[in-house]
């Protein structure tokens, strides 16, 4: 047999080609696996961060009752909302809004078409425990005809939402303390479970009553009853964060021009877009676009109790009523964006023109 060098070379080339192909396949497989694992990790991290951010939001805000809230909410229920809200991490005005929407603050305790009962309208089987009583419940959550179970007996609650929150030996859905605490516990659990905003479709309020009209009505009452008072300490000590607000405002001196109705940060702003942009950029909160909106935010502050960061309002500067806004910086001074060619300036609150046109102050960050 004759030895053919060319055949040996071809065989070596084939073997090298196989090894290259094998290495390429392994490389692509490993790369693909790494990409899939990285995607799964980032997706999980994003969901975790989103849920954490949502859950933290409730604790970063103190809800201050509005004039409308003071007028409409029976005073006897306020401590119940606030205690339950604090215990379960739910805005107290959300509990008030649902109470108002469901039974007009317990003034209409009639049984719903679905058989829901009590101050916050729980289905009997939801109150007692669906899984335990599934053979005795109809599809709507009411007890089947002929089934009689005492809803107020804590011994009858097996995995349900019923609570004896006031410790009187009864878990009574008609008792505001029991019902409001049960609602708060349910909303908090759904908030954590879904990771969604309170009023999002599929979120806690929607799960309470899966109707977007219901959600919209509750959300409207929620904002009517209270306004947010944000906590500066959520991201930094109050002095540091409010100091940042004031420093950012001062940086706009000589940069920002006053233009009525403008919102072109940082070059062309009016008084309220000046304050709006600063609060949004430093605190991440929306105080509204105009003075008529901003003057409703937070809580009112007496003139002799002003603190740096408070919004100060003036009236009659170019129209009747509230018409101008600035930010108090301490020592009787405030910074504002004003017309008459002065643009961003530091003014004296207790002297001359500003003293005579002073209207009120609001604290939206504590």
How far is it, in rounded angstroms, from Cα 140 to Cα 125?
A: 9
Quick check: 43 pLDDT over 60?
A: no
How far is 227 from 132, CA to CA, in rounded Å? Answer: 41
| Pairwise pLDDT comparison (14 vs 138), residue with the higher score | 138
Q: Is the pLDDT of residue 36 over 70?
A: no
Q: What is the pLDDT, as a whole number, of residue 55?
A: 34
For residues 285 and 272, give the distance between their C-alpha atoms in angstroms, rounded to a whole number: 14
The whole-number average pLDDT for the span 11-16 is 61
Does the pTM surpass 0.75? The reply is no
Residue 283 contacts residue 334 (beta carbons within 8 Å): no
User: pLDDT (tens digit, 9 = 90+) per residue, 284-306?
Assistant: 889 999 999 999 998 999 999 99
User: Bigger pLDDT: 38 or 344?
Assistant: 344
Compute the average pLDDT of residues 105-132: 94
Q: What DSSP string runs through 45-107?
A: HHHHHHHHHHHHHHHTEEEEEPHHHHHHS-GGGHHHHHHHHHHHT--HHHHHHHHHHHHTTTT
Q: Provide the percentage of residues in the chain whose pLDDT is more than 90.
A: 70
Task: Quickly list DSSP for 152-197.
Answer: T-GGG-SSSS---TT-SS---TTSHHHHHHHHHHHHHHHHHHH---
Locate 303 and state its tokens: 């003139």
- Residues 359/315, Cβ–Cβ less than 8 Å: yes
- pLDDT, tens digit (0-9, with 9 covering 90-100), for 339-352: 877 899 999 999 99
Q: Does residue 266 have a cis bond before it (omega within 30 degrees)?
A: yes
Rounded to 5 degrees, φ, ψ at 183 are: -65, -40
Give tens-digit pLDDT for 46-59: 443 333 333 334 44
For 9, other C-beta atoms within 10 Å of its C-beta total 10
Structure token pair of residue 20:
């290259």
Q: How many CB atoms neighbour CB 123 within 10 A?
A: 23
Place of tokens 């599929």: 202
> Residue 303 in contact with residue 361, Cβ under 8 Å?
yes
pLDDT band of residue 12 (cuts 50, 70, 90) is low
pLDDT over threshold 70, residue 142: yes
CB 315, CB 357: distance < 8 Å: yes
**Residues paired with 360 in a beta bridge:** 313
Q: Flag the least confident range among 18-22, 95-99, 292-296, 324-328.
A: 18-22
């Amino acid at each position: 047999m004759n030895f053919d060098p060319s055949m040996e070379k071809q065989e070596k080339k084939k073997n090298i080609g196989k090894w290259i192909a094998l290495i390429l396949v392994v490389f692509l497989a490993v790369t693909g696996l790494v990409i899939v694992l990285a995607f799964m990790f980032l997706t999980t991290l994003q969901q975790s961060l989103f849920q954490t951010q949502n859950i933290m939001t409730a604790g970063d805000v103190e809800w201050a009752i509005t004039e409308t809230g003071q007028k409409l909410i029976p005073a006897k229920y306020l401590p119940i909302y606030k205690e339950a809200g604090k215990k379960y991490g739910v805005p107290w005005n959300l509990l008030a809004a649902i109470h108002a929407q469901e039974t007009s603050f317990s003034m209409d305790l009639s049984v719903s078409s679905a058989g829901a009962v009590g101050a916050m309208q729980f289905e009997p089987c939801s109150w007692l425990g669906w899984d335990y009583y599934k053979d005795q419940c109809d599809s709507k959550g009411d007890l089947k005809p002929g089934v009689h179970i005492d809803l107020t007996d804590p011994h009858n609650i097996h995995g349900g939402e019923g609570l004896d929150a006031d410790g009187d030996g009864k878990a009574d859905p008609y008792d505001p303390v029991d019902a409001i605490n049960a609602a708060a516990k349910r909303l908090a659990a759904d908030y954590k479970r879904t990771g969604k905003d309170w009023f999002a479709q599929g979120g806690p309020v929607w799960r309470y009553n899966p109707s977007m009209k219901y959600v919209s009505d509750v959300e409207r009452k929620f904002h009517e009853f209270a306004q947010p008072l944000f906590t500066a300490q959520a991201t930094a000590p109050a002095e540091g964060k409010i100091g940042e607000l004031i420093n950012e405002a001062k940086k706009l001196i000589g940069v920002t021009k006053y233009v009525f109705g403008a919102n072109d940060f940082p070059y062309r702003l009016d008084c309220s877009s000046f304050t709006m942009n600063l609060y949004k950029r430093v605190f991440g909160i929306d105080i509204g676009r105009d003075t008529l909106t901003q003057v409703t935010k937070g809580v009112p502050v007496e003139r002799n109790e002003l603190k740096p960061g408070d919004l100060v309002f003036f009236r009659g500067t170019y129209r009747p009523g509230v018409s101008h806004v600035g930010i108090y910086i301490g020592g009787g001074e405030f910074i504002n964006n004003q017309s008459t060619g002065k643009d961003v300036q530091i003014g004296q609150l207790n002297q001359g023109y500003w003293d005579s046109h002073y209207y009120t102050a609001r604290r939206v960050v504590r």
